[in-house]
Amino acid sequence: MAADDIITMTNVSVRYELRNSSLKRNTSYLNALSGITLNVRKGETLAVVGESGSGKSTLAMAILGLLKHWKGTIDYRFRECGLTSTEDDNLKRGELLEIWQRSSIVFQDPYSALDSKKLIKDIIAEPFVGHRKGNRKRAEERAGQLVEQVGLTLDHLVYYPGQLSGGQRQRIAVARTLINGPELIIFDEPTSSLDVSIQAQILNLILDLKEQHNLTYIFITHNLAVAKHVSDRIMVLYLGNVMEIGMTDSVFSEPLHPYTKLLISSVPLPKSDYEMKQRESREAEVSSIAPPKGCVFHPRCPVATSHCGWDSKEIIQLIERESYLRLGLESLNADMQDELNFTISAADEDMAGKLLDLIGEKNKFRIASSELRGSKIACRLYVSWSPRMVPKDDRMVNCILYDDEFKNAHDIQK
Ligand SMILES: Nc1ncnc2c1ncn2[C@@H]1O[C@H](COP(=O)(O)OP(=O)(O)OP(=O)(O)O)[C@@H](O)[C@H]1O
Ligand code: SF4
Ligand SMILES: [Mg+2]
């Protein structure tokens, strides 16, 4: 862990248990994060971007020690307090309290985040009192200082949340996170539920407070324009995997990963309320429960190679769809031998020939060989090459196109 890092995560994976209510004994798991290795540098703002379900909030929960099923190591290097958490040696209650004093989180929804029955002064003071940082008088003094620092007045201390606007409530949520003098704040979509006109004010407040309080930020957002505005570095997540991480300016000026390129090409700058829409996969269903093999992005990648992770099941589905659209076949008689080999049986040799043409035309780069054997077609796929984070220029990219080992093995020009 470098001296200027506040958090390092090494190979962190998180899964959620999914219970099938009709068959209670059936438990399946959803991989929300897969092998995340990441450092957060003291004093920086690291933006975390990605579509809905990519694992952004799970990353926040993992850092705050709030998850059950996880693997890997998380190191914390706060001032005068270093802690390490692993799946075998989870943090004790006292250590968790240390982390929650030194790091806090601001959530998206300022309506549900604040207890509607409490006065603002008590809401702001609660973490101070809860962590026994001082008596009630001191807590109220601190609440008074903070309510002014977030741009409200002392009068607001005796309001209830219901008497405040969304933007004012989010200011209170920010004041509350500051009361114990944290070193790290995680913002999880802090402005996405606010009016566009208010968003910029809250963002600027957040940026000012960072300087005043010497803070480190992890800033989770869907909104690439916001990420670009607030962050020093940016991490792009897709289906629980880091796709690219690097300095914000260079990632925006020259995105490397095909997914980052897609995201950035569709940013309607300078519109600020942009929400990334889950793009529908044209070629395959994408799911965190059964993530695609090889590169998780391969079903949607416009430059996917033969070795990006195609498996028999998904290619059969593709051929099924194409044969319905092009040849009018209602169903395809396919037999999957294993992940890389399958056979398609046609009604007769003539249809087998047409299917072979269709397979060659549309799936040439995905299929290593397809051979006609009477009315059957035997297909074999390329062995996939698992992507890993590799350095490229000033950043890390998770794509085999930047992996020299892959390029050398396949004689691809650098
Ligand atoms: N408690 C849970 N139980 C089961 N699955 C969960 C749970 N929380 C999250 N997930 C799943 O884990 C994956 C990652 O979820 P997460 O909330 O971290 O995504 P996100 O990037 O924050 O999405 P959003 O942008 O919608 O907030 C998703 O597929 C989600 O459905
Ligand atoms: S490894 Fe790279 S080229 Fe292959 S599918 Fe993934 S992003 Fe696309
Ligand atoms: Mg989230």
List all residues whose CB is within 6 A of at least one atom of ligand 1: 16, 18, 30, 32, 50, 52-58, 222, 288
The reply to whether the predicted model has a pTM over 0.85 is yes
Q: What is the pLDDT of residues 149-185, one digit of tens each?
A: 999 999 999 999 999 999 999 999 999 999 999 999 9
320 and 260 inside one domain: no
243 and 357 inside one domain: no
60 and 167 inside one domain: yes
* pLDDT for residue 22: 60
Using 50, 70 and 90 to split pLDDT, how confident is the model at 413? Answer: low
- Is residue 399 a part of any domain in this protein? no
Q: Is the minimum distance from the CB of 305 to ligand 2 under 6 angstroms? A: yes
> H or E segment at 36?
strand 27-41
Task: Please state the rounded mean pLDDT for residues 45-65.
Answer: 95
Q: How far is the CA of 237 from the centre of ligand 2 (A)?
A: 14
The candidate with the shortest Cα–Cα distance to 295, out of 81, 284, 103, 394, is: 284
187 and 252 inside one domain: yes
Report whether the peptide linkage leading into residue 270 is cis, meaning its omega lies within 30 degrees of zero.
yes
Three-state SS sequence of 37-106 = EEEEECCCEEEEECCCCCCHHHHHHHHCCCCCCEEEEEEEEECCEEEEEECCCCCCHHHHHHHHHHEEEE
- Is residue 296 a part of any domain in this protein? no
249 and 340 inside one domain: no
User: Residue whose CA is closest, atom 8 of ligand 2?
Assistant: 304
Last residue of a domain, one of 265, 283, 299: 265
The number of the ligand 2 atom at minimal distance from the alpha carbon of 307 is: 4
The candidate with the shortest Cα–Cα distance to 31, out of 21, 20, 17, 19, is: 17
55 and 141 inside one domain: yes
Backbone torsion region of residue 49, taken as left when φ is above 0, otherwise alpha when ψ lies between -120 and 50, otherwise beta? beta
User: Residue whose CA is closest, atom 5 of ligand 2?
Assistant: 298
b/e string for 234-248 if b means 16 or more Cβ within 10 A?
bbbbbbbbbbbbbbb
- Is residue 183 a part of any domain in this protein? yes
Q: What is the pLDDT of residues 63-80, one digit of tens each?
A: 999 998 899 999 999 998
Is the predicted pLDDT of residue 381 greater than 90, yes or no? yes
- Is residue 281 a part of any domain in this protein? no
Q: What is the pLDDT of residues 13-32, one digit of tens each?
A: 999 988 765 655 677 889 99
The number of the ligand 2 atom at minimal distance from the alpha carbon of 400 is: 1
324 and 224 inside one domain: no
* Pocket probe mutation, ligand 1, options 14, 15, 58, max atoms within 8 Å of Cβ: 58
335 and 249 inside one domain: no
**Residue 360, helix vs strand vs coil:** helix
Is the Cβ–Cβ distance between 346 and 356 less than 8 Å?
A: no
Q: What is the pLDDT of residues 196-249, one digit of tens each?
A: 889 999 999 999 999 999 999 999 998 999 999 999 999 999 999 999 999 999
* pLDDT for residue 109: 82
b/e string for 20-55 if b means 16 or more Cβ within 10 A?
eeeeeeeeeebbbbbbbbbbbbbebbbbbbbbebbb
* CATH code: domain of residue 12: 3.40.50.300
* Pocket probe mutation, ligand 2, options 243, 244, 297, 365, max atoms within 8 Å of Cβ: 297
261 and 317 inside one domain: no
The number of the ligand 1 atom at minimal distance from the alpha carbon of 60 is: 18
Q: What's the structural domain count of the chain?
A: 2
Task: Please state the rounded mean pLDDT for residues 282-306.
Answer: 79
117 and 186 inside one domain: yes
179 and 320 inside one domain: no
Q: What is the pLDDT of residues 309-334, one digit of tens each?
A: 999 999 999 999 999 999 999 999 99
Is the Cβ–Cβ distance between 244 and 251 less than 8 Å?
A: yes
Is the predicted pLDDT of residue 271 greater than 80, yes or no? no
Is the predicted pLDDT of residue 299 greater than 60, yes or no? yes
Q: How far is the CA of 239 from the centre of ligand 3 (A)?
A: 13
Residue 269 is classified by DSSP as T
Q: How far is the CA of 238 from the centre of ligand 1 (A)?
A: 12
Q: How far is the CA of 57 from the centre of ligand 3 (A)?
A: 4
Range(s) of the domain holding residue 345:
312-381
Is the Cβ–Cβ distance between 197 and 272 less than 8 Å?
A: no
